Structure 1
Amino acid sequence: MRSINIGKRYKPFIIAELSGNHNGSINNAIKSIKAAAKCGVDAIKLQTYTANTMTINSKKKDFLIKNKDSLWNGYSLYDLYKKAHTPWSWHKKLFNEAKKNGLIYFSTPFDESSINFLKQFKLPLYKVASFENTDLRLIKLLARTKKPLIISLGLASLRQISEAIKTAKNNGAKRIILLKCTSDYPASNKNINLETIKFLKKKFKCEIGFSDHTKGIGAAVAAVANGATVIEKHFTHNKNVKSVDVEFSLGPDEMKSLVEETRNAWESQGKVKFSLSKSEKSNLKFRRSIYVIKKIKKGEKFSKQNLQCIRPGYGLNTKFFEKIINLKARKNIDRGTALKWNLIKR
């Protein structure tokens, strides 16, 4: 598997989240992995759970989603997770497909049984989902694998984030990456508050990324401009496949654009610099300067009628314009001549 390079000196690390976009078909999942690789992403991520490891099969009100604004309004938790889960029997084939397509592959486990299941694949890192970032027992178990941890921060307070990081570090986690996240599906741009990325980086002194549930790619590009080094986005090979996550997922054309534009944003950041690049220096000639715009005879005074500040920049700097007015020409000067001091009698 290729190396995992995450940090400001590397291009953004782009994760395509498969989640429930397979819609119950392993062929859809394989197509999405192939499509993600063609888009130029760095990694593919699965979610490892079953309905039974997430909740219980109950129609009591605690277990029902009753929110008319939710994509999943009317589902029971059990039915939603049953529909969205990636069968564990698929994992080996999907990880092999990712490897074959040159992608880094890993998963989000949700309980001890899923961690134990995933150990056989020797994954290079794990992710903690937003809804599990206060499950300190889960974080403890993942930290003990000694693998890098990505932790999504949706729903978490600053105190809870600190507690999660402390738990991870105390149990052996050497590398922690935090993802700014708004746990709303889809999330509104006005609610994602990307300025938080800078605060998190300063506060916790680790790499900060962005788990993006907005529609489109604008927020991801803005996140990179704010210092995000990891971008996670739900992905499907075909947005006409009506899965539980498709409303906030990208299709291939959008994902390709996200990869390109986040890398453009990263490359554009550069450093604090005021010296000119080699290509800029060649354009200095197009600055304004003082030119003769009407033929001037020897001894004739310079005036606003025979001088003008125009492009290109081969003449005297425009700051001398008023100083030169009423001075006399040392010799005859043709129209279109860049004015120099040796043409001026003083």
Structure 2
Amino acid sequence: MIKIANAVISKNHKPFIIAEMSGNHNHSLERALEIVDAAAEAGAHALKLQTYTADTITIDKSDGEFFISDAKSLWKGETLYNLYKQAYTPWEWHKPIMDRCKEKGIICFSSPFDFTAVDFLEELNVPAYKIASFENIDLPLIRKVALTGKPVIVSTGMANIQEISEAVETIRSTGNEQVILLKCTSTYPASPENTNILTIPHLGQTFGCEVGLSDHTMGIGVSVASIVLGATVIEKHFTLNREDGGVDSSFSMEPAELKALVIETERAWQALGKISYGPTEKEKASLVFRRSLYVVADMKAGDVITDKNIKSIRPGLGMPPKFYDKVLGKRVNQDISRGTGLHWDMIG
């Protein structure tokens, strides 16, 4: 069990849903605050920011590996520097966004991308930290975050088992045991067939920690399915309207979808229950609607039971149908009127 602010993260509590704002504010603080309002209205438990600047995440260079030329990339034709300049959340916005979250009753924390971001977020007293997939091999950054003593959520996109192990060991070596690992596929959007959520229980078993999903697929199906596999945290990118555009808008959820995610993941969690056979307390009232053996033609004492005078029908107040073959050919010991449930004390 891990606690983030007033939220408990465990399999005994409903899934913790994180709305990732990322760059979907589109350089408008007013829009960022509207995103907070919409996330809270939809029932998300937390809003997550990203804390960096273009200069803290890359350098201003427009050729070679600093230029995005991959034809499949959403950001083809951009330089890394310009992309991050578009996507970053101004640091002076963090406090008003966090204040709005507090006002709306939603938790706010962030992903830091360098040491200065951690120091800044500590000044704001964030209740937890998130390590993004692209930073999950930055062990010095992970160590600095872990040393705050606060819960650390790590996305595992692209990381092999050794790299995940190194990240977890780095956190625990500081004495911080508050680790949550999120299965993540670092493609934007991700396809369901490339998401491999069967990894979720394996992550939990291997590292002995809470697990979840950072979900870049469209819709809510993958996230809901992950709850059945033990996910206790779901993170999805969130925007007001995909048509408004923005660096992450094309694979982000809209408010109605986020609301559905909150509702359906909680339903999936409620449905897990426990291993159970036989009627539940709520089902016992329905037992009467089972089939059972009934007399379907008036009978006199001494009459032989045949397939013409008994039948397996509803309701379930007679003897179970499994005795049908055993009672055929036997005689009844009393007069029985049509519509009476058959019982052993009527036979012989």
Q: TM-score, normalised by structure 2?
A: 0.96
Corresponding residue to 1:33 among 8, 28, 36 = 36
- Alignment pair present for 1:193 and 2:202: no
Show the 5 A alignment for 1:1-16.
2-16=5-19
Tell me how far apart the structure 1 counterparts of residues 225 and 215 of structure 2 sit (CA, whole Å): 11
Tell me how far apart the structure 2 counterparts of residues 117 and 6 of structure 1 sit (CA, whole Å): 25
Tell me how far apart the structure 1 counterparts of residues 207 and 69 of structure 2 sit (CA, whole Å): 36
Tell me how far apart the structure 2 counterparts of residues 170 and 90 of structure 1 sit (CA, whole Å): 33
Corresponding residue to 1:125 among 128, 135, 140 = 128
1:59 match: 62
Matched-pair contact (CA < 8 Å) for 1:2–1:103 = no
Corresponding residue to 2:235 among 227, 232, 237 = 232
Q: Deviations over 1:65-86 (max 9, x none)?
A: 2222221122111111111111
Matched-pair contact (CA < 8 Å) for 1:6–1:13 = yes
- Alignment pair present for 1:285 and 2:313: no
- Alignment pair present for 1:114 and 2:117: yes
Tell me how far apart the structure 1 counterparts of residues 201 and 330 of structure 2 sit (CA, whole Å): 57
Unaligned runs of at least 5 residues, structure 1: none
Q: Alpha-carbon deviation of 1:272?
A: 1.4
- 3-state DSSP class of the match of 2:19? strand
Tell me how far apart the structure 2 counterparts of residues 62 and 182 of structure 1 sit (CA, whole Å): 22
Moved more, 59-68 or 281-290: 59-68
Give the counterpart letter for 1:266 in structure 2: W
Tell me how far apart the structure 2 counterparts of residues 30 and 245 of structure 1 sit (CA, whole Å): 17
Runs of 4+ with >6 A deviation: none
Tell me how far apart the structure 1 counterparts of residues 78 and 161 of structure 2 sit (CA, whole Å): 31
Matched-pair contact (CA < 8 Å) for 1:215–1:247 = no
Identity %: 48
Moved more, 74-83 or 60-69: 60-69
Q: Alpha-carbon deviation of 1:334?
A: 1.6
Corresponding residue to 2:27 among 4, 9, 24 = 24
Q: TM-score, normalised by structure 1?
A: 0.97
Give the counterpart letter for 1:306 in structure 2: N
Unaligned runs of at least 5 residues, structure 2: none
1:326 match: 329
2:301 match: 298
Q: Deviations over 1:287-321 (max 9, x none)?
A: 11101122223322111111111111100111111
Q: Alpha-carbon deviation of 1:277?
A: 2.4
Matched-pair contact (CA < 8 Å) for 2:292–2:316 = yes
Q: Alpha-carbon deviation of 1:22?
A: 0.6
How many matched pairs? 345
1:316 match: 319
Q: Deviations over 1:214-251 (max 9, x none)?
A: 00001110111110000111111223211111111111
Q: Alpha-carbon deviation of 1:4?
A: 2.6
1:176 match: 179
Q: Alpha-carbon deviation of 1:178?
A: 0.6
Matched-pair contact (CA < 8 Å) for 1:36–1:237 = no
Q: Deviations over 1:193-233 (max 9, x none)?
A: 11111111111101001101000001110111110000111
- Alignment pair present for 1:252 and 2:255: yes
1:210 match: 213
Give the counterpart letter for 2:248 in structure 1: D
Matched-pair contact (CA < 8 Å) for 2:5–2:127 = no
2:46 match: 43
